[in-house]
Amino acid sequence: MSEEPTRRGVPLHTKIMMGLLLGAAAGVTCNILWHDTPQLEWFTNNVASPVGNIFLRMLFMVVVPLVFTSLALGVASLGDIRRVGRIGVRTLGFFLATTALAATIGLTLVNIVRPGEALDPAVRAELLEEYSGEAGEKVAASQVTGFGINTFVNIVPRNPVAAAADGDMLGLIFFSLIFGIALMLIAPERAAPVLGVLEGISDAVMVLIGFAMKIAPIGVFGLIFAVTAQFGFEVLKSLALYVVMVLTGLIIHQFGVMAILAKLIAGVNPVEFYRRIRELMITAFSTSSSNATIPTTMRTAEEKFGVPKSIAGFVVPLGATMNMNGTALFEGMTVLFLAQVFGVQLDLFTQLIVIGMSVITALGAAGVPSGSIPLLVMVLIMVGVPGEGIGLILGVDRILDMSRTVPNVTGDLLTSIFIAKREGYDLETAGGSERELA
């Protein structure tokens, strides 16, 4: 027994953290010494970014089959259409409550500190000019992805295969849920062969995820190096107060609100809670994607907290698309920040609208890097702030995107624990707390 730690070697989360820290240190060093040199640009574009993108692509590669099999099996295994409806309502209610709370925290901070009023007009003009092209692309994208009645219509895909191929997660989720309900309603002997195939695919997907996680430390190194080596420190300096405010809001929500919820819902000491989810937080931060983190979120829920596979398979894929605590906080803060920069006064009623729109657009935001930006532009225009103003924050969005993904996926995990508890599962005796993730 005493040799077990030696056989297991260094835990995966430790390796990933080492890759994260080494990549950040190397990137910052290269940025200071060789910023804007062709050699650094070549290394970033031809070595670091490709290595990181291979890791990301391996994770994204399994998202579609994982979401489909997890949701279909999760729904089918619940066994009662009324139970599906009950769990669905509770899940959505928890999503909305925590997301609204996060947006409120963000707007409160910006109202108190008012970072937009501290931005120099000359810096504003420089940033707008530097990022005008990218800002124009985001404004154009917002016109395509605008939130309205068609958003709800488009949830029902014309072709589920096309939805999967195009990365239309809401369409894929809808088809998976309906497919699982159909399996639940047909004769058990007819459903059994299909369920067997889905379980086989699910098992194979988990093996593929294991392959991806083996290269995670190297992939994380490449992703973080590419960000820190190219990051505009002058831009960060210009927007330092805004960045600090957003990060402060995210920290309050992640380590304040989430800690309280963990204690109340999971009955877990906050220190123990964060110890169990460290790999999840590191993966979310390094990939900047709730979708890419789905495998780790599900594994953490099942193995660390004993959440039944049927519940985790139902809640986590939904959360990766619809539960965006950090995104709502970021959107609310950014709208008010840019309103302050451009001198647009937003009264209390308008700010309540901003909170509501932050929650709604967070539900529709893509769970991929910077997936919320087009919808954020739409909210800006709605309250009278120039959509092109998004160019002011594009230079620092990457680091904020990485940061806001962490509370996004932590919220997904907590929701799965909440639902499992409400459904009467005794998670404390599941033994998950004693097992390390592979």
**pLDDT one-digit tens code per residue, 11-46:** 777 788 888 888 888 888 888 888 778 888 888 888
Helix axes 188-214, 49-61, angle to 10 degrees: 170
Number of H helices, E strands in the chain: 24, 0
Question: What residue segments make up the domains of the chain, in order of their start?
Answer: 4-434
Show the tokens assigned to 84: 């599906």
C-alpha 401/C-alpha 154 separation (Å) is 26
Reported as a single tens digit per residue, the pLDDT across 294-316 is 889 999 999 899 999 889 888 99
Using CA of residue 249, residue 250, residue 252, residue 256, what is the dihedral sign? Answer: positive
- Report the pLDDT value the prediction gives residue 148, as an integer from 0 to 100: 57
Confidence check: pLDDT of 106 > 60 = yes
Confidence check: pLDDT of 72 > 50 = yes
- Report the pLDDT value the prediction gives residue 437, as an integer from 0 to 100: 38
CA-based end-to-end distance of the chain: 18
Show the tokens assigned to 354: 């901003």
Q: Quick one: what percent of the chain has pLDDT higher than 70? A: 84
363-390 per-residue burial string, b: 16 or more CB within 10 A, e: under 16: bbbbbbbbbbbbbbbbbbbbbebbbbbb
- Report the pLDDT value the prediction gives residue 2, as an integer from 0 to 100: 39
pTM comes to 0.76
Show the tokens assigned to 61: 């590669």
C-alpha 28/C-alpha 251 separation (Å) is 23
Closest CA to 389 of 342, 347, 426, 350: 342
In 215-347, which residue ranges form alpha helices assigned H by DSSP? 216-230, 233-238, 240-252, 258-261, 270-276, 278-287, 294-305, 309-322, 325-341
Confidence check: pLDDT of 53 > 70 = yes
Confidence check: pLDDT of 271 > 60 = yes
CB burial of residue 62 (10 Å; 0-12, 13-18, 19+)? buried
- Report the pLDDT value the prediction gives residue 431, as an integer from 0 to 100: 45
Confidence check: pLDDT of 403 > 80 = yes
Show the tokens assigned to 53: 């993108």
- Report the pLDDT value the prediction gives residue 203, as an integer from 0 to 100: 86
Q: Residue 403 CB: number of other CB atoms within 10 A? A: 21
C-alpha 115/C-alpha 324 separation (Å) is 24
Confidence check: pLDDT of 154 > 90 = no
Amino acid at 372: S
C-alpha 149/C-alpha 298 separation (Å) is 32
Show the tokens assigned to 179: 């497919």
Show the tokens assigned to 114: 């008012």
438, 302 contact by CB (below 8 A): no
Show the tokens assigned to 367: 């769970």
Helix axes 373-382, 132-144, angle to 10 degrees: 80
Q: Residue 348 CB: number of other CB atoms within 10 A? A: 8
Q: Please, what is the average pLDDT of the chain?
A: 80
- CATH H-level superfamily of 4-434: Sodium:dicarboxylate symporter (1.10.3860.10)
Closest CA to 321 of 368, 367, 375: 367
Show the tokens assigned to 306: 């004993």
Tell me the average pLDDT across 123-147: 59
C-alpha 420/C-alpha 428 separation (Å) is 11
C-alpha 79/C-alpha 279 separation (Å) is 33
Reported as a single tens digit per residue, the pLDDT across 199-255 is 898 889 888 888 888 888 898 888 888 877 766 555 566 678 888 999 999 999 999
395, 130 contact by CB (below 8 A): yes
